[in-house]
A and B are shown apart, each in its own frame.
Chain A
Amino acid sequence: MNFEFTEEQLMIQQAARDYAQRELIKDVLERDAKAEFPADHIRNIAGLGFMGMMVDPKYDGSGMDTISYVLAMEELSKIDASVSVIVSVNNSLVCYGLEKFGTEEQKQKYLRPLASGKKIGAFLLSEPEAGSDATSQRTLAEDKGDYYLVNGTKNWITNANSASTYILIAQTHPDKKHKGINALIVDKDTPGISLGPHEDKMGMRSSDTHSVMFTDVKIPKANRIGDDGFGFKFAMQALEAGRIGIASQALGLASGALERSIAYSKERKAFGTIIANHQSVAFKLAEMAVKVENARNLCLKAAWLKDNHLSFGIASAMAKQYAADIAMEVTTEAVQIHGGYGYVKEYHVERLMREAKLTQIYEGTSEIQKIVISRDLLK
């Protein structure tokens, strides 16, 4: 067993840290307040190779492993989870699925600009009445011979407005239930697509989230990923990979909150000494550190399994559930350690706490992860 990172992995971690701590930090509070999309930052980190980290260089990706991806996601998320969710969706939901299951033509046309970050992707699965219950897709993709006719509404779509390419999950054969679902590649400017208003969210406010409405939208058959009826399986596999991204994001929120708490407790004085000298604070830090380390190990284990082409679905569910839950706990404790200062925006930890909440909800709630894990235990 080897816990050492390679030189390249450490360089990527440092590159992500440098960008986050030098650039993202400058305007993260302002973007949070104004719910402003970080277009310049996404362009910059695309130039560094972060938007298609694990994609083969022959499709303009960076050709890195998933361990590097975990390290980079943690560093970006310590400072700005809005940026890291854009990175995560593009990398592990959109690029991963396209590279694994797309045809060569689809990869040339759609994967290349997504992997290089020239374009951004979005993953359209959730519906107003199909969140955790992803089998109940109501969006219809009727088979019309050489095209699908799509009607329906998708909800909570990250990158909905900024994306150029959508991966749409829709029902073609309702009688076959989830075996009738298809995954389609959709150009956002196809006639008949409209967006709902920008969702005014509690956290991750500078990522753009909208509902997306489809009215008689024609999608060429050539844009279907895999065989007819493969869509649900496709979505589940993409989500397995996506969970590693969001687990690493949750890890970054927790470790970022821990780092801020350590620094603050060594500066802030109460009762004649720095608060780190009070055992009530020191013990909190110790408990937070153990949780962060556990989450990191779970994320890296899932990444290692994926890199070694081993089954990683359960490991990624464990990483996602644990990291998201401890992110909520650790960020809440960070606010407590900061006291009144923790409750104001300038000190960042209240934002990390708001953002941590979403990691327990999206890309499979903590409860859904427990279903995945327990079903595997009990099968």
Chain B
Amino acid sequence: MKILVLIGNVPDTTTKVKFNADKTAFDANGVQWIINPWDELALTRALELKETADSCIESIVVANVGRVETESTLRKALAVGADEAIRVDADPKDAFYVASQLAQVAIGFDLIFAGIEASDYNGAAVGGMLAELLAIQSVSAVSGIQLENGSLKINREIDGGSQTLAMNLPLLAIVQKGIAKEPRIPAMRGIMMARSKKLTVATPIEVEPLTSILSFELPAPKASCKLVAEDQAKELIRLLHEEAKVL
């Protein structure tokens, strides 16, 4: 069995978000890049499956759409244990564009993991689109995945409870938090081996993105907290009515 894990290259979650002068693009200056946290958990679960059922999983491949500078993110995935990596050499323009590029390289895999969303644009679209483009089944909001004797058991969160499904392969699993406990820290041996693992650069195909960004806005800064004394109920009502305008 071959597993593919999609890897988003996203700004560190503590990044102070800034945009360029005309507010049409994210200002990547000085930003530290990481593996999208959902994808990192997906990779962790894939590695766990390989370790517990290594007789049936022959390799774990990671793939992204990005320029050469995103290779360090892919190599981190290799350092924690992925066997090889594929980078489609293009700027990730929108979800459809990314899914279309990935569809060219995501062929021949039995199980594909996609994080439910990426922590940069939170589009939550690539996984579903890729499954459609590949014409394979997908299941979303996956919070648990077990592999027993080659058959797949999926847990997913549903309104007011959870659901357990038996699924056939091939499958694209769109995973959320809970799929693995926490991401792995790469061991030094893995870090040293990462550079010698295969990293294939694929040429992008011609495809038009479906969306374009007109402008970005930062959320309004949070107003400071006002404390109202416990015997000033009228003042509280006035503030809620006149300032907060919630009454």
Q: How big is chain B's contact interface, by range? A: 10 to 19
Supposing A11-B79, A22-B182 touch, asked if A62 and B189 sit within 8 A by C-beta, the answer is yes
- Residue in A11, A18, A19, A47 whose beta carbon sits within 8 Å of that of B191 in the complex: A11
A48 and chain B: residue at smallest CB distance: B187
B192 and chain A: residue at smallest CB distance: A63
B185 within 8 A of A: yes
B188 within 8 A of A: yes
Within the assembled complex, what's the spacing in Å between the Cα atoms of A15 and B72? Answer: 14
When the two chains form their complex, are residues B75 and A50 in contact, meaning their CB atoms are under 8 A apart?
no
Within 8 A of B (CB), among A46-95: 47-50, 53, 57, 62-64
Within the assembled complex, what's the spacing in Å between the Cα atoms of A18 and B195? Answer: 21
Question: Cβ of B185: which chain A residues have Cβ within 8 Å of it?
Answer: 15, 18-19, 22, 48
Query: How near does chain B come to A292, taking the closest CB pair, in angstroms?
Result: 19
Within the assembled complex, what's the spacing in Å between the Cα atoms of A15 and B79? Answer: 11
Question: Cβ of A50: which chain B residues have Cβ within 8 Å of it?
Answer: 188
Within the assembled complex, what's the spacing in Å between the Cα atoms of A18 and B76? Answer: 13
Q: Which of B187, B189, B191, B194 has the most chain A CB atoms inside 10 A of its CB?
A: B191
Supposing A7-B72, A7-B75, A22-B182 touch, asked if A12 and B191 sit within 8 A by C-beta, the answer is yes
Within the assembled complex, what's the spacing in Å between the Cα atoms of A48 and B187? Answer: 4
Q: Which of B76, B188, B191 has the most chain A CB atoms inside 10 A of its CB?
A: B188
Supposing A7-B75, A8-B192, A63-B192 touch, asked if A49 and B182 sit within 8 A by C-beta, the answer is no
When the two chains form their complex, are residues B182 and A15 in contact, meaning their CB atoms are under 8 A apart?
no
Within the assembled complex, what's the spacing in Å between the Cα atoms of A47 and B194? Answer: 17
Question: Cβ of A22: which chain B residues have Cβ within 8 Å of it?
Answer: 182, 185
Question: Cβ of A11: which chain B residues have Cβ within 8 Å of it?
Answer: 75-76, 79, 186, 191, 194
Within the assembled complex, what's the spacing in Å between the Cα atoms of A50 and B194? Answer: 18
Query: How near does chain A come to B81, taking the closest CB pair, in angstroms?
Result: 13
Question: Cβ of B187: which chain A residues have Cβ within 8 Å of it?
Answer: 15, 47-49
Within the assembled complex, what's the spacing in Å between the Cα atoms of A62 and B79? Answer: 13
Question: Cβ of B186: which chain A residues have Cβ within 8 Å of it?
Answer: 11, 15, 48
Within the assembled complex, what's the spacing in Å between the Cα atoms of A209 and B195? Answer: 40
Within 8 A of A (CB), among B64-84: 72, 75-76, 79
Within the assembled complex, what's the spacing in Å between the Cα atoms of A12 and B186? Answer: 8
A49 and chain B: residue at smallest CB distance: B188
Question: Cβ of A15: which chain B residues have Cβ within 8 Å of it?
Answer: 185-188, 191
Question: Cβ of A48: which chain B residues have Cβ within 8 Å of it?
Answer: 185-188
Binding site for B on A (CB under 8 A): 7-8, 10-12, 15, 18-19, 22, 47-50, 53, 57, 62-64
Binding site for A on B (CB under 8 A): 72, 75-76, 79, 182, 185-189, 191-192, 194-195
User: Would you list 29 pairs from A and B whose C-beta atoms are within 8 A, ordered by A residue?
Assistant: A7-B72, A8-B191, A8-B192, A8-B194, A8-B195, A10-B72, A11-B79, A11-B191, A11-B194, A12-B188, A15-B185, A15-B188, A15-B191, A19-B185, A22-B182, A47-B187, A48-B185, A48-B187, A48-B188, A49-B187, A49-B188, A49-B189, A50-B188, A53-B188, A57-B189, A62-B192, A63-B188, A63-B192, A64-B192
